[in-house]
């Protein structure tokens, strides 16, 4: 057995160490300090003998000698503390999507104005694949300028006359109004853009293109990811896109080649001179080809793919949206006989004894313009505006929108917002008598064509087509529903994705108001 007295000694030695160490740590230094001062915690601090300061030795003191008559030193400046940037609220994302979507049903002025940091258009997988990589939504500023320069509606008188003759020959039979409207708009824009009518033969392809451009793609949620492309392949969406875009690409390739061959036969100056004399001359394709040849060798050249992309913009964005808006306008008018009669009375009073509506009559048709505005409010050409991508963090309606976020403005919801519009579901054109609101992008309660730098370049031509065709149809005909059909029976159900068209086409019976000249 070990000696207990030895263990007791060892235990006593361990117990003695802590007090010894404590006394050693608290023993004052034998340095030249003078005076003491009570600290906030009750501990005493010793002053330096030289400067009466604290925290250093007299031997190493570099401060001036203490002068009891000197004024007290100025208090030190507070340290500048950098504020940490507050993290924005997390926006829900899907998968590894690097451009999370944010749908905005109000505050469109903040999201679409030129001052907002959401100026860049976002790209979708379908648009990027269109026309072999020439994205329809890409920013082609030179082409937009060229389009606006030549978009002069000089062609719709002839095409509207053909529409009136066709409806007059129909007699008292019901007609599908959407088909006649589409062929008329196709003739106007097709003649303006291509020199002749083409789109009627591609009607199904253009409608399918609208559906594909607005379809949800896995690649949109997983951009640049193999998984997104694989899912689109397995679902068949990628194959559909490739097939329809190849077909449209061949269609536009043929058009461009025909116009380029015509340019090679004679100089552009001779073509424009013939146009000035009233013969077949310049159209949009010729202008874009001239731009392509002038800027093709520059650093940011305008290529043939850009020409085809602009043509797709014209057909998809021009023909479809214009014809759908006219279809909705006639549907709302036939459901509201009071509004139709008031519009017809105004048109016939302005036109008078003339056989047809003329261009110079349009500025006088105030109520007709209100009818068009009300149609845009309830049935905008595009339910969702072209997506924007934020370039920096900013706020919309109290929500933090991070950088690189896809912002989508819901124009359909804005037009039916009860906080903005009284009786938003009712078709009441008179509401614009008291509200000074236009659709030119300056009033964000009504932005069917967008706003800011990305506003639709075909706004002027689209509105002119809608107003002139609608005025001519209301002036030349009285419209009735087929026998046995009441206005309450009209189905106003919407269908589509990018553009909401009427699911069931409208059938009307036209009765000529005046004999055609």
Rounded to an integer, what distance in angstroms lies between the CA atom of residue 517 and that of residue 504? 34
Which is nearest to 53 in space by CA: 30, 69, 73, 78?
A: 73
Which of 394, 386, 380 has the alpha carbon at shortest distance from 325?
Answer: 380
Task: Kindly state the helix (H) or strand (E) to which residue 471 belongs, with its residue range.
Answer: helix 459-476
Q: How far apart are CA 261 and CA 119, in angstroms?
A: 38
> Which regions of 49-179 does DSSP assign to beta strands (E)?
101-104, 120-121, 175-176
- Do residues 338 and 510 touch, judged by C-beta distance below 8 A? no
CB atoms closer than 10 angstroms to residue 511: 14
**Annotated binding residue 476:** no
**Tokens standing for residue 431:** 């509401």
Question: Both ends of the chain: CA-CA distance in Å?
Answer: 136
Using CA atoms, how far apart are residues 52 and 180, in angstroms rounded to an integer? 101
> How far is it, in rounded angstroms, from Cα 236 to Cα 74?
77
E-state strands within 367-480: 388-389, 394-396, 399-401, 406-409, 477-480
> Binding site membership: which residues?
456
Annotated binding site for heme: 456
């Amino acid at each position: 057995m070990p000696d207990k007295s030895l263990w007791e000694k060892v235990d006593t030695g361990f117990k003695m160490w802590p007090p010894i160490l404590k006394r050693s740590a608290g023993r004052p230094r034998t340095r030249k300090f003078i005076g003491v001062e009570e600290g906030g915690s009750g501990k005493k601090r010793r002053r330096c003998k030289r400067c009466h300061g604290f925290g250093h030795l007299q031997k190493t003191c570099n401060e001036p000698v203490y002068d009891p008559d000197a004024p007290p030193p100025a208090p030190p400046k507070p340290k500048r503390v950098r504020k940490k940037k507050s993290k924005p609220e997390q926006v829900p994302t899907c998968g590894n999507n690097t451009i999370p979507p944010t749908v905005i049903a109000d505050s469109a002025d903040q999201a679409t104005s030129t001052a907002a940091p959401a100026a860049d258009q976002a790209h979708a997988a379908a648009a990027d694949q269109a026309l072999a990589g020439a994205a329809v939504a890409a920013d082609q500023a030179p082409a937009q300028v060229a389009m606006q320069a030549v978009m002069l509606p000089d062609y719709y008188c002839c095409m509207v006359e053909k529409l009136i003759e066709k409806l007059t020959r129909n007699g008292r039979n019901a007609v599908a109004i959407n088909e006649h409207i589409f062929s008329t708009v196709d003739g106007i824009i097709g003649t303006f853009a291509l020199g002749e009518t083409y789109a009627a033969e591609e009607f199904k392809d253009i409608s399918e293109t609208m559906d594909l451009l607005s379809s949800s793609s896995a690649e949109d949620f997983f951009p640049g990811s193999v998984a997104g492309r694989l899912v689109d392949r397995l679902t068949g969406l990628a194959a559909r896109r490739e097939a329809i875009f190849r077909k449209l690409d061949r269609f536009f390739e043929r058009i461009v080649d025909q116009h380029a061959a015509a340019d090679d036969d004679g100089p552009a100056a001779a073509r424009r001179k013939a146009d000035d004399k009233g013969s077949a001359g310049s159209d949009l394709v010729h202008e874009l080809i001239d731009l392509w040849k002038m800027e093709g060798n520059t650093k940011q050249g305008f290529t043939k793919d850009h020409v085809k992309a602009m043509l797709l913009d014209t057909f998809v964005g021009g023909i479809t949206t214009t014809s759908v808006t006219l279809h909705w306008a006639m549907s709302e008018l036939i459901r509201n006989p009071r509004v139709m009669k008031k519009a017809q009375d105004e048109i016939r009073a302005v036109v008078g004894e003339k056989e047809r509506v003329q261009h110079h009559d349009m500025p006088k048709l105030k109520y007709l313009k209100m009818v068009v505005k009300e149609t845009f409010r309830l049935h905008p050409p595009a339910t969702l505006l072209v997506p924007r991508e934020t370039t920096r963090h900013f706020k919309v309606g109290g929500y933090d929108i991070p950088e690189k976020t896809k912002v989508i403005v819901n124009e359909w919801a804005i037009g039916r917002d009860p906080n903005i519009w009284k009786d938003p579901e009712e078709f009441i054109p008179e509401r614009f008598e008291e509200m000074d609101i236009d659709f030119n992008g300056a009033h964000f309660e009504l932005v069917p064509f967008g706003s800011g730098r990305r506003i639709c370049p075909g706004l002027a031509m689209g509105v002119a087509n809608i107003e002139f065709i609608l005025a001519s149809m209301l002036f030349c005909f009285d419209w009735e529903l087929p026998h046995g059909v009441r206005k309450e029976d009209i189905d106003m159900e919407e269908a589509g994705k990018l553009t909401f068209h009427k699911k069931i086409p409208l059938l009307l019976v036209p009765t000529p108001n005046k004999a055609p000249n």
